Amino acid sequence: MHDASAARPLRSAPPTQPLSGRLRVAGDKSISHRALMFGALAVGTTSIEGLLEGEDVLRTAAAMRLLGATVDRLGDGAWRVSGRGVGGLTEPSDVLDMGNSGTAARLICGLLAGHPIFAVMTGDASLRRRPMKRVTDPLSATGARFFTREGGRLPLAVQGARDAVPLDYRLPVASAQVKSACLLAGLCARGTTRVIENEATRDHSENMLRHFGATVHVGIEGHGRVIELIGQPELVAAPVVVPGDPSSAAFLAVAALLVPGSHIVIENVGLNPLRAGIFTSLIEMGADIALTNQRIEGGEPVGDLVVKATQLQGADIPAGRAPSMIDEYPILAVAAASARGTTRMRGLAELRVKESDRLAGTAAMLRAAGASVEIEGDDLLVHGGAVPGGGVVTTNMDHRIAMSGLVLGLAAEAGMAVDDAGFIETSFPGFAALVNRVAGCQAILPIT
């Protein structure tokens, strides 16, 4: 696990040759979390292949063990979960430490709300600054009681509902985490849990609930959806093959777009349309990205990305696309910095409450490289052109800012440095080594 007292600075520089080759990125983090959680709630033994073995997901595995499930690692990415059944989780004997993972913390709040058990949850310094009221407020309507620090922050204690009440909740802002937490709580409730979202968000929870045997109905309402879950199902163990994480693939794709002459194939990438907004946006900017070998695995669309270096053009990225690419704005901003013209990314208020204030962090990253960037309300404007580079990115414990800064250094004339890359391991273990492999040189190096 990352030691915040021992920063791991890295630097990156333009590689001596184009990026090339075929590669696979780490397993999808969202699906990995859910595979462990739903496996713990299912009857029988669930086999998982391709699980992301970053720190965030390992925290979820540890939490499921504390809640009574048997969770075993069989080999690289191969795991087995023997579940307790819906309503069968047991009171943990220790604090649930979720590290840096906001997804795990918020989803497990939903899981705990429906079980009549007491638990305490904490996280690292970054996670303890992030608000949890967005989940604890709606989940309290199940009958669960939450006790948090001022501002709804971790550490928190929860006493789950003895007889959980089904929720009927309209999301005030688009959030797949809040939606998923409500559905997890609804598994233990007698009756139908109903969640309404004004904008469609990633639907991995709905897909996986069906995969494990739950009854989930999804209706369309305007630009959003109405999700209904029939409570107290018997979830039955089902194998899960985790595709490559599109968020992780985005870093390699942008690197290949920006390094002249590059041509890479990223295999087995999850292409869920509610997650693939980054690729839509890059293609609108003129990116040479082709989707091949498309198929369905475990209820999720999967395919290969063929990416060739391209001179990008500025674009206007609509606010309505934000839910499908909320984690990818820092790397999209890196692409925009090297594009011709101005790129406007609209409606980014949600970025202010990520691992850091990611909107401010993204702007600061680009400014450290000498790029021209402005924040107008909740919009980010990036004026593209040659990127001088040579600066140091302050990551503020944000793994996506760290990876974006390193990709930026591959295109910046004088390269870039990041003050701490240790948190990259939470979501993309082996990131630097993979970049160096396709670069054919040490494009990313430690600073000693």
Judged on CB neighbours under 10 Å (0-12, 13-18, 19+), 8 is middle
Mean of pLDDT values over 42-67: 96
Question: What is the model's pLDDT at position 308?
Answer: 98
Six-digit token string for 327: 């984690």
Domain 10-27+243-446 shares a fold with domain 29-241: yes
Q: Where are the domains of the chain?
A: 10-27+243-446, 29-241
Asked whether the beta carbons of 371 and 116 are under 8 A apart, the reply is no
Known catalytic residues are 327
Q: Tell me which residue of 281, 266, 273 sits closest to 330, measured CA to CA.
A: 281
pLDDT tens figures, 337-377:
999 999 999 999 888 876 668 999 999 999 999 999 999 99
pLDDT tens figures, 148-204:
999 899 999 999 999 999 999 999 988 999 999 999 999 999 999 999 999 899 999
Tokens 């979202």 locate to 197
* Distance, CA of 230 to chain centre: 27
- Helix and strand numbers (H, E) in the chain are 12, 24
Strand partners, 121: 96, 156
CATH of domain 10-27+243-446: 3.65.10.10
Distance CA 278, CA 407 (A): 16
Is a pLDDT exceeding 90 seen at residue 312? yes
Q: Does domain 29-241 have CATH number 3.65.10.10?
A: yes
pLDDT band at 43 (very low <50, low <70, confident <90, very high): very high
